[in-house]
Structure 1
Amino acid sequence: MGSAGKYFYFIIIVGIIISLAFFFAGCEKINLSEIKTDCYYIGRCDADTYIIKFDTVGNDYLIGRSYKVEQAPVAERKNISIKAGLKKCSVKVNDVDMPVKLIPEHITADSITGTYSLGKEKHSFRIDRYNSPDYKDVEPQFQKEKYTVETIKDIVYGNAKGFWSYNPDKNETFAKAYCDKLGELLKYNISPRDIDLKMDIYLPKNDTSKLRPLLMLIHGGAFFNGDKASEAYVKWSTHFAKLGFVVASINYRMGFMPSADQIDCAGYRAAQDAHAAMRYLVHNAAKYRINTDWIFAGGTSAGAITALNLAFMRNKNRPESTRGGLFKSDLGDIESVSPQYKENFTIKAVANMWGAVHDINMISNAKTSVISFHGDADNIVPYGYDHPFNDVLDPIKIALRNDNSAEAKSVKSIFSLPLNKALTNKMYGSSLVDKMAKAKGNRSKLFTYPGGGHSLHVDKNNNLVPYFYFIQDSVTAFFVEELIPDPIKIVQDTNDRLVYKLNGKDVKSLYWKAENGIILSTSGRQARIIFLSDGGKKRITVSGTYKNGIGFKTELVL
């Protein structure tokens, strides 16, 4: 008998059951009411497999549809209409009438087995109620804001001598800000004061993660102004805590006397403080449920410089000006602040927002990934290799921008040559950091803002602009890619189009779901699925956890 003939006779098997219910009533009770209309059945007829859906079940008839599983990923629908009598039944399959002889062997609510005959040939059949595999909708982690946030303010992570660690930006020119602090600079340059170094910690509330990634954020302000509680840093800290990160926003020592060496020392003191803050957090990892393999850092301007130094600077890379001499004291190693915390750490990735480094070769010290944002017309921190503060201390640049402020007139009248060249050393900006990182095999991504200046995340009044959120979303995606280096994707097998596989290997658990489809079997990281031609959107969803415990969910739409 041909395949088509076997298929037509198989379809009417269920209809014959109705007549057999009457014929064998005295031998075995058959409860046809157990046949359901809210599920699918899988039928096996010799080597062929069929999907059956009953839409109507009457006392002596069935109406439904069937689908034969073949090599095509989508099975075509055939309508079935069955009328049963005592000894035979009439069946229509797409309006084609077919008779068959049936001998049931075992009938329950969940399965029907037996044999059927066409002429002298005898064939077996089996129909089972389809039960889809258990599915658990595992929510992907660290990609959507879903937690409320608890903030613990002003945690002291260290103490060190310096000028100050708190100087909120008043949205004034740098020259005016410097003059306002001149008295303190002169006083504490002679006798530095003890400063408590503080951080604010943002924690996701009610999360169930045993361990969480850590992000340290470091504000900018030319190593002179700034505060951990500025609007941008509160918003970024809150965002990442809502994702499930532990976030620490730190204050650090600021201030410097007007010389290139002193500015380098200010940057180094910031790096020492950030290093102490990170060691404090690693020391208290159990308290805050921090996964010390998932440590990130980021900042803007001076904060980005500090974040890059935190990741890549080693004691061998210290600026020479920090090592002391005849008339100045040595600032000590990077670990000199809060030496009671001995823990080591590795930064997984840095968010570098218009930052720079003084020694480009220190990028080779670590395999830390870097995502950078920088305007190619930045006159404060160079995009390439140049002196910083071009727009503040260079009378030529001031003249070109037609700045007639009192501070600008003062600079132009006193100095004939760019003051920034005398007061600062050249630095390597984001374009060169990106180039070197890639050359050393580090993962690096650079977003260049054409024609953009400094502080791309705010306007001239320090109000957040849309680019703030572009940075936020880009950094989030970049960090998540660090946590999930081999993201799961569903791919269709090229040899067997009913087989779908997961390409990733770092999977601990997984769950399959097929919309308008039947999962025929699962094995390891693959499943065999047939879709039905008359359904709506045909979609496969797989959720689960990676070996590192992070949840995932991925989809494939046919």
Structure 2
Amino acid sequence: MKHSLLFIAFLLFTFSSFAQLRYTQTVFNKVDTIKDMEFAQSDWLNNMVSLLADYNIHNGESKTIERPLYMDIYSPHDDTVSKRPAILFGFSGGFLKGSRHNDDMIAFCDSFARRGYVTANFDYRIGMGADVTMVFGIPIHVSISERNGARTVYRAVQDSRAAIRFLKHNANEFGIDTTKIYLAGSSAGGFVALHNLYMDKPDEIPPFALGSPTLGNLDTVGIQGYDGRANAIVSMWGALQTPDLIENEQRPALLIHGEEDDVVYFKKGVPLKTLIPDLDALDFNIPETYGGYCIDTALINRNIPHNTYFVPGKKHEFYGVKTGNFGDNGPNQYWDTVQWKISDFLFEQFKPIAEFEYDVQELTLNCFDNTANSTLSEWDFGDETIGNGSTVSHSFHSPGYYKIILSSCNANMACDTLSQIVAIGNPTQVQTSFAPQIKLFPNPAIDQLHISGIAENSRIEIIDLLGRTAIVANLSDSKTVDVSLLNTGIYILKIEREAGTYVQKFQKVN
């Protein structure tokens, strides 16, 4: 029986440790991938100008062909959680090139699936229409207008909404929590993410999109019957056609941008302009767009919470790719930083906030997990014992100050911890045999706390009643510790020696 209890305790500890890391660090060694999953059919431009094929430029938009849209879906191998947040990743390429097979999109999907997410890199339609003047089958003049640009972005936004609706429709099959589907995009994919979130009303659709030939409403493409907007977005070096689209949208956004970006401008400018050849035969009349700086300003002016990571001196795709593909040396030092920024931002959207109450009756502690939507509660009572359940009782062998730690997890198995120092019994002074000579004065203390009766260079720790370490110090001959920067309140002084541990409460006042 004893061995069985020890084994159960070991499993609980192992499971709790695993859950604490999930979504914030790599916890799965293997990823399962479903390739080429068709999520919709849509009309692709189909009148390529042969001499402009490298730029994916088409002569007008009247000729189209219906083709499938695919996504590749990644999930953690042998995962037992059935309701997981999902991240869709949208590729870069200026709406003219690139694909879901870009190096960075594959790497993102693999990395975040190993953290516990379901991830997918998805197709959206690329290619841009233009007004082309032909002589004997040779283009002599090409004009790309605001209309062409607006329709190009709009098609991609339609496809992103179709991808989200597909995941919602098949949520049970893929183990997805439909309230936690996020969209992250790079460059053109950043445009898609931003417009997916902020272009959400019929009157916000560009008039060009509904002109002949009409592209239809926002949800014309793919499975119907679900909201096609992401629950939060990440825009990496993307931009908006106009900040007026934002209105009062409260869904969270993370904006990542290099402040010297000359492809999609950090402030305001014509995107791709520096990449377009300066030719008399080419008119590139795409209007200015509004980058991370302008979007951040608009969100601040509307008092809408959001996150930013703006890097001075850096340009487009600053984590070490070109149109989404790594060079011979792989990504640079910003690759890991961007991943951690995205990881921290998304985890904050669905992590629980641990809360608990307790009462003490002599040596018995009763604890109550008040964490919203908690499905798993695990407790460390600070005396080398653990327990589980939303309501627990634990009896201690002796009075003392014990650090009680709650680990509380929700249905996504996202977890948070909270600790508090709790007085059990009457622990006015819990001490070992060497302790009677140890004295604290003055108590209450204002600026300095003097400690007598201990050896030189003793290591002390001061802990607040939430279990947080406030001061760690090695005391010199003066045996004095500066407590002037502590907030007013009750603290625990802890001294650990070979002979045992001394713990005493003191008060900090102003």
Cα deviations by residue, 1:482-513 (Å, 9 ceiling, x for unpaired): 012x53278999xx9x9998996324442222
Partner of 1:320: 207
- The RMSD of aligned alpha carbons is 3.9
Tell me which protein shows more helix as a share of its residues.
1
1:149-188 mapped onto 2 (5 Å cutoff): 149-163=31-45, 179-181=52-54, 185-186=57-58
Q: Which amino acid aligns with 1:320?
A: P
Instruction: Give 2:218's aligned amino acid.
Output: I
Q: Which residue of 2 aligns with 1:387?
A: 270
Query: Cα deviation per residue 1:345-376 (whole Å; 9 max; x = unaligned)?
Result: 54221111011111312223632101111011
Give the match for residue 214 of structure 1.
86
* Identity rate, percent: 22
Deviations 1:153-200 (A, max 9, x none): 111111222237xx9xxxxxxxxx993436x63467452222211111
Instruction: Please state if 1:456 is matched with 2:342.
Output: no
Confirm whether residue 236 of structure 1 aligns to residue 114 of structure 2: no
Give, in whole Å, the separation in 1 of the partners of 2:58 and 2:412: 52
Match of 2:69 in 1: 197
1:199–1:178 distance in 2 versus 1, CA, 3 Å: farther
Larger Rg belongs to: 1
Relative contact order (alpha carbons < 8 A, sep ≥ 6): 1 or 2 greater? 1
Q: Which residue of 1 aligns with 2:347?
A: 480
1:305 to 168, 171, 191: 191
What's the CA shift for 1:296? 0.5
SS at match of 1:160: strand
Instruction: Give the superposition deviation at 1:260.
Output: 2.2
1: CA distance between counterparts of 2:124 and 2:51?
A: 18
Amino acid aligned to 2:209: T
Deviation at 1:540, TM superposition (A): 4.8
1:293-352: CA deviation from partner (whole Å, max 9, x where unpaired): 11110010100110111122122211222120xxx32211111112x4222254221111
Report the AA paired with residue 544 of structure 1. Answer: S
> Structure 2 regions of 5+ residues with no counterpart?
1-8, 131-143, 420-466, 470-510
Task: Please report how far the alpha carbon of residue 384 of structure 1 lies from its aligned counterpart in structure 2 after TM superposition.
Answer: 1.6
Distance 1:519 1:226 in 2: 52
1:241-264: per-residue Cα shift (whole Å, max 9, x none)? Answer: 112211121111111122221011
Structure 1 residue 438: Cα displacement: 3.8
Please point out which of 289, 302, 313 is paired with 2:175.
Answer: 289
Q: Which whole-Å CA distance do the structure 2 matches of 1:323 and 1:297 have between them?
A: 25
Does structure 1 residue 367 correspond to structure 2 residue 250?
A: yes
TM-score by length of 2: 0.66
* Aligned residue runs from structure 1 range 9-408, under 5 A: 136=13, 137-138=15-16, 139-140=19-20, 141-147=22-28, 148-163=30-45, 179-181=52-54, 185-186=57-58, 189=61, 191-256=63-128, 257=130, 258-314=144-200, 315-324=202-211, 328-338=212-222, 340-364=223-247, 366-393=249-276
Give 2:379's aligned amino acid: W
- Match of residue 543 from structure 1: 407
Quick one: which amino acid aligns to residue 330 of structure 1?
A: T
Q: What TM-score, normalized to structure 1? A: 0.60
Q: Would the alpha carbon gap of residues 265 and 145 (structure 1) be closer, same or farther in structure 2, given more than 3 Å must change?
A: same
- Size of the aligned set, in residue pairs, is 383
List per-residue Cα deviations over 1:7-64 (Å, max 9, x = no partner). Answer: xxxxxxxxxxxxxxxxxxxxxxxxxxxxxxxxxxxxxxxxxxxxxxxxxxxxxxxxxx
Match of 1:469 among 333, 336, 342: 336
- Structure-1 separation of matches of 2:262 and 2:51: 18
Hey, what's the Cα distance between the residues in 2 that align with 1:423 and 1:525?
Answer: 68
Instruction: State the shift of 1:480 in Å.
Output: 0.7
